[in-house]
A = this chain, B = another copy of it.
């Protein structure tokens, strides 16, 4: 089974998710005293803009990792299609969590809930990776490229920590989510490295 339509569909869904979040960013309402037309009126959108930016970055990270990973794989099967759909389901809830967190100006429960969504996305991604390793074999280029997946494991830990901390102090919880995003912004060289190795002549 070819992987191209799975890639195209995932691209479509992630492109839409990353874009419709901007619909939440409503311009300030103009009243009869011309309030709403000043740069200072944008300040009221600060929390919404900040949560939009973080979610944009997280969805971009997922797309980037998805892209890298599917370059390294050879084929997919029905279970991979569903594992991918499961990932897209949790990603599709990100705009909802983003809007709730922004609307409530980073209140305790919404920030914890946002972390819960990030955690579920990460778990769904892990399930997808495991399915792909199962199909390609533990000794495959793909499995070696994934390796011990330190970043993935650290992320899961940080998400759980972020959720717990949010319940005490949402600002610190939010900072922990930002930290995870920063970890992933460093491009993931694993697949490039292993693909180069795999295509190099054996000595």
Measured CB to CB, the residues of A under 8 A from B are 1-2, 5-9, 11-20, 22-23, 25-28, 30, 34, 36-39, 42, 53, 56, 60, 63-64, 67-68, 71, 77-79, 81-82, 85, 88-89, 92-93, 95-96, 99-100, 103-104, 107-110, 112-113, 185, 187-189, 192
Residue with the greatest number of chain B CB neighbours at <10 A, chosen from A12, A23, A25, A34: A12
* Nearest neighbor of A81 in chain B, beta-carbon distance: B64
CB distance from A16 to the nearest CB of B (A): 4
Copies of this chain, tallied across the complex: 4
Main SS of the interface on chain A? Answer: helix
Q: Are A18 and B189 interface neighbours, CB within 8 A?
A: no
Q: Which residues of B contact A18 (CB under 8 A)?
A: 13, 88, 92
B residues less than 8 Å from A2 (CB atoms): 71
- In the bound assembly, the distance between CA atoms of A71 and B77 in angstroms comes to 13
Q: For the complex, give the distance between the alpha carbons of A95 and B52 in Å.
A: 14
